[in-house]
Amino acid sequence: MKRLCTLLVLCLFLMQAFAEAEVQSQPNAFMQARLLDAQGEVTDSLAAKVGQRVTLALDIYTPTWFSRAPELEPLVVEGAVALQAQGFAINYSERVDGVRYAVQRRELSIFPQRAGQFIVPSQTARLWLGGDIGPAGGALGVRSEPLVFQVTHVINFDESDNPSESGNQSRLLVANQLSINEAYEPNLALLASGDKSLLAGDALVRRVTLTAAGTLGMLIQPLQWFELEDVQQQASRARVSDRTERGEFTGVREMSRSYVFERAGQYQLPAQDIYWWDVANQRLAKTSLAAQRVTVLPSSLVSADGSASKAEQSLLEQGFRIVAGIVVVVLTVIAAGLSLHYLLRLLIGAGRKPVQRYRASRNYARRQLLRACACGDSDQTVCCFYRWQQLLPVAVFETPQGAELQAALNAFYETYYHPATDVKNAAAHDAKTAAAQRLAASVKAIKLARRAGRSLLPRGRALLELNPR
């Protein structure tokens, strides 16, 4: 007996060992993190500049298939701006150790904001896979290994346009391409040709747009504006935006500045130089705005000593009153419009609720069923019947009327699924019509039975045992 017990224990141990070995031999799903260089190729050692885009690729492997899209946790990297580079995934297949895997790649972008070593923490993903991998009907969690990359400063230019390692180490723009566009109002060409004139006290608006490929608009530094004598300057709030196309970022910064010239004379708006790091060519680059010369003519409203006359002050006060009146009217119209919009939403919402309650009621479902029976639409009749029977009390089908309804429905299904109904003849049409009329009469009888005061159990979902085929 002792030998038999020992043999049984040994057999159980061997069976468990074989089962564990079989489970371990089966391929499992996993996720692998990789760093990509500027050409999109996988690299083990990546040295980026401050502000340069670093692409993190998360490759998710499964030996079966993805039953739904994987969910990634938000990427957080200390000292950097991290976000998803594209809203879609790249799908491909790869053979690993003799096993073919379905692979889905997600690319995320990291924009470091300081120099030094960066650690990309381990990332977590939830997977829903087909086959026997993972919990039945649930999500499978996978993790990637952490990664490390180095970030260095960009060497700035000094005033002689030569690199200076000991010079300013302030952060420069890092991009694949930079373009600058500026516009003036009034147009400088019209001012130069004499078609328009700029008088003392007038304003010249300068709009500058910086468009950088491969970076974000928030990383484009604003221009450093130079002060001009006898010129008052006022800057408007910059507009920053981003565009993405096939996973590539393009940042845009739009700036506006007004120049008010206090005296007549010749003015020169100085040139603007923007230094940036060209990632595509791995070199420092410079993009410039040319200097512009502006001629300002004397104004009749300005006295010889340059002070404003009484006529000018009167015009300014009158203009201020007009602008203030326009602002009050506009604000009043906006407030009235918002109040009307809110009132309309309340009225529309109050009107929709009774309609929605009625359409979800049993009476509405019954009317729809009777209408489908009268029209002879078999598909709609079946659909409406199932909707109506879900709203009926459970005990309806324990009454004689319920039994008649069950028999009428079975008779309707016999004509609905009978092969003879596919043939367009008078006999089949009459049988189908008679079955629909019988079903409608049974539905009406159910309502009459309820009106007669017959006892019904508390409301619940009516479950029919239907065998249409």
pLDDT (tens place) for every residue of the chain, 469 residues total: 556 556 555 655 556 654 444 444 557 899 999 998 877 788 887 888 899 999 999 999 999 888 888 989 889 999 999 987 666 688 899 999 889 999 999 989 999 999 999 999 999 999 988 877 766 667 889 999 999 999 988 875 444 444 444 344 457 899 999 999 999 988 888 888 888 888 888 889 999 999 999 899 899 988 888 888 889 998 888 899 988 887 788 999 999 999 999 889 889 888 888 899 998 888 899 998 888 888 889 876 554 454 555 556 677 788 888 999 999 999 999 999 888 988 888 888 777 778 888 888 888 888 888 888 888 787 888 888 878 877 877 677 678 887 888 788 788 777 776 655 444 577 777 788 888 888 888 888 876 555 544 444 444 444 444 444 3
CB-facing half-sphere around the CA of 147: CA atoms within 13 A: 26
Question: Token pair for residue 21?
Answer: 């070995």
pLDDT value of residue 118: 92
Residue 247 burial class via C-beta count within 10 angstroms: exposed 0-12, middle 13-18, buried 19 and up: middle
| Closest of 428, 52, 401, 382 to residue 216, by C-alpha | 52
Strands 54-62 and 99-112: antiparallel
CA distance 3 to 255: 91
The per-residue b/e assignment along 169-207, b for 16 or more CB within 10 angstroms, e otherwise, is: eebbbbbbbbeeebebeeebeebeeeeeebebbeebebe
**pLDDT for residue 28:** 87
Distance between CA atoms of 64 and 391, rounded to whole angstroms? 42
Report which of 416, 439, 438 is spatially closest to residue 428, judged by C-alpha positions: 416
Query: What pLDDT, on a 0 to 100 scale, did the predictor assign at position 13?
Result: 58
Q: How many Å is the maximal CA-CA distance in the chain?
A: 127
The pLDDT of residue 356 is: 80
Q: At what angle do helices 362-375 and 426-451 cross, to 10 degrees?
A: 160
Q: Name which of 80, 81, 41 is nearest 57 in CA terms.
A: 41
- What are the φ/ψ torsions at residue 275 (nearest 5 degrees)? -95, 140
Q: Which two tokens stand for residue 61?
A: 């492997």
pTM score of the predicted model: 0.54
**Mind listing the pLDDT tens digit for each residue in 10-50?**
655 556 654 444 444 557 899 999 998 877 788 887 888 89
Tell me how far apart the alpha carbons of residues 417 and 469 are, in angstroms, rounded to a whole number: 7
Cα-based distances in Å from 229 to 206, 224, 245, 261, 264: 17, 16, 44, 9, 12
pLDDT of residue 35: 92
The rounded distance, in Å, linking the Cα atoms of 264 and 259 is 13
Q: What is the pLDDT of residue 310?
A: 57
